[in-house]
Chains A and B, each alone.
Chain A
Amino acid sequence: MSEYNFAYLDEGTKRMIRRAILKAVAVPGYQVPFASREMPMPYGWGTGGVQVTAACLTPADRLKVIDQGADDTTNAVSIRKFFQRTAGVATTERTAEATLIQTRHRIPETPLTEGQILIYQVPIPEPLRFLEPRETETRRMHALADYGLMHVKLYEDIARNGEIATSYAYPVQVAGRHVMDPSPIPKFDNPKLSDSPALQLFGAGREQRIYAVPPHTQVISLDFDDHPFVASKAPHACALCGDDGSYLDEVITDDAGGRMFVCSDTDHCATRRAAGHAGTQAEAIA
């Protein structure tokens, strides 16, 4: 612990990142460039989110790290350990108890509250990237709010699949201005982005961008009048806790077509089971 500055990064770097965060909060949805540092983990493992977390952490914080909703997968465990060792902060798996949550690809089911910070790991921050390859052009399009192209992508989806088939990283418009990639969260989570009491920060390490959705900001998922946005999920209830309103993972259980649907948010599922809820296969793991 004493070998590192608090939360691994030196104070100058943290200050630089905080400046970028302040700018991002001031212009919701705008991608602020920042001088991303090398982190002791590979790109794609959350280097952007880790840097934002490091810049936001205080010794009094309680940190929760989730990966695809789960607290116990490699990415979540290693990042949690990283901050335990380098910052010595308390950690938790309970969404309600955490003051700072770093997440990869999910928003917790438990509604966030005022004072919490949700930090997303972002692989590709530019929503227009696969439509317009030139960075100079995408920046200009953001500057001019020239977002017709985003609808061309949705049009193509409907033309090919009969519905908007984009199911994750679904483009949103923040505060009526910037179109933003909400990181690869399932579109089921998109409505939770809007008017959240918590501060939401997005960090992309390789692409060197930070953006933000301040508390109580309107976030709208793009759609067509006759093909409105639908926050879809698997039409099942969780096999462990019985919840039919949470986002589900499909788990293959054998090689004979056996499968079960369980909550992707492990904390949500465990809390419900502790409270006595049970799904169809609850006894299987008990």
Chain B
Amino acid sequence: MSGAHPLLSVQGLTKSYGARRGCADVSFDLWPGEVMGIVGESGSGKSTLLSCMAGNLTPDAGAVVFDTRTSGPRDVLAMPEPERRMLARTDWAFVHQNPRDGLRMGVSAGGNVGERLMGVGARHYGQIRAQATDWLGRVEIAAERIDDRPAQFSGGMQQRLQIARNLVTGPRLVFMDEPTGGLDVSVQARLLDLMRGLVRQMGLSAVIVTHDLAVVRLLADRLMVMKDGLVVEEGLTDQVLDDPQHAYTQLLVSSVLQV
């Protein structure tokens, strides 16, 4: 509620898969309205970190403190599951890399967008449908496609539908896992444009995991670079990308292909 607390505070988050390290001792604060990018190569632990924060994986150690609307900062990992689920479908959103993971493919677009509303107790068909139509419009999907199934949509549309489905309850924190992965560049550009607009309009905070430096350049205020499960560099996006200090970050930045 108040500006005194960070929206999300991650403290010493650690997760290992047996002897292998997923991520180790990751800490950061995310303030309201801020977008945090996490970059690193495949296997650097960024997806593990995201899953631990979002409650999809149970970390071995650490705390994820979220500033809840009703009772202030609370450790999400210590919450009872009903509360965590409620949080996950009201104040949180999770955008998967593959829209098939985040959508119900057998359910129409309108049903997909309405699911979170019905999950929190909406029981008026007309209102649910009106909100679904509104959100399809906001993510640039034609209203007459509301009864089509996601399987009939293109990859870019599926990803936009997934975003609509997640943002319909007005969350304050969005986790995104490679939101533009698998899309061609022109579709990526439109999606990024759309996400930037939504993030700014709604004042969302977001954690974006990606290996695409262009995505974080566009969207993220701050950047965290991970390698082998450890955070090797952290700072403002422009600062990290334009003046990388750590050898790995320098490698990462110089690996970007120039057209």
Contacts and interface: CB of A to CB of B under 8 A. Distances in A.
Interface of A: 140, 144-146, 148-149, 151-152, 155-156, 158-160, 223-227
Residue with the highest number of chain B CB atoms closer than 10 Å, among A140, A148, A149, A155: A155
A224 B124 contact: yes
B123 A155 contact: no
A146 B125 contact: no
Contacts of A160: 108, 147
Interface stretch (B5-13, B110-118, B176-184, B243-251): B110-118
Contacts of B146: 159
Contact of A158 (B116, B118, B123, B125): B125
B19 to A, nearest CB: 27
Contact of A159 (B108, B116, B124): B108
A155 B114 contact: yes
B82 interface: yes
Nearest to A225: B124
Q: Would you call the interface of chain A mostly helix, strand, loop, or mixed?
A: helix
A144 B79 CA distance: 14
Interface of B is mostly: helix
B118 A144 contact: no
Interface residues of B, number: 23
B115 A148 contact: yes
A223 B146 CA distance: 21
A224 B123 contact: yes
A144 B85 contact: yes
Given A144-B81, A146-B119, A226 B125 contact: yes
List 4 tightest A-B contacts by C-beta distance, closest first: A148-B119, A151-B118, A224-B125, A148-B118
A155 to B, nearest CB: 5
Given A156-B107, A226-B125, 13 more contacts: A146-B85, A148-B115, A148-B116, A148-B119, A151-B118, A151-B123, A152-B107, A155-B128, A156-B108, A159-B129, A225-B125, A226-B124, A227-B125
B126 interface: yes
A158 B125 CA distance: 8
B233 to A, nearest CB: 39
Nearest to A160: B147
Q: Which of B85, B111, B115, B146 has the most CB of A within 10 A?
A: B111
A149 B81 CA distance: 17
B29 to A, nearest CB: 30
Interface of B: 81-82, 85, 104, 107-108, 110-111, 114-116, 118-121, 123-126, 128-129, 146-147
Contacts of A225: 123-125
A156 B104 CA distance: 12
Contacts of A140: 81
Contacts of B107: 152, 156
A227 B123 CA distance: 9
A122 B183 CA distance: 46
Contacts of A144: 81-82, 85
A225 B119 CA distance: 15
A152 B147 contact: no
Contact of B118 (A145, A152, A159, A227): A152
A158 B146 CA distance: 13
A158 B128 CA distance: 12
Nearest to B82: A144
A225 B126 CA distance: 9
Given A224-B123, A226-B124, A155 B118 contact: yes
28 contacts: A140-B81, A144-B85, A146-B82, A146-B85, A146-B119, A148-B115, A149-B115, A149-B118, A151-B123, A152-B114, A152-B115, A155-B110, A155-B111, A155-B118, A155-B128, A156-B107, A156-B108, A156-B111, A159-B111, A160-B108, A223-B123, A224-B123, A224-B124, A225-B123, A225-B125, A226-B124, A226-B125, A226-B126
Contacts of A223: 123
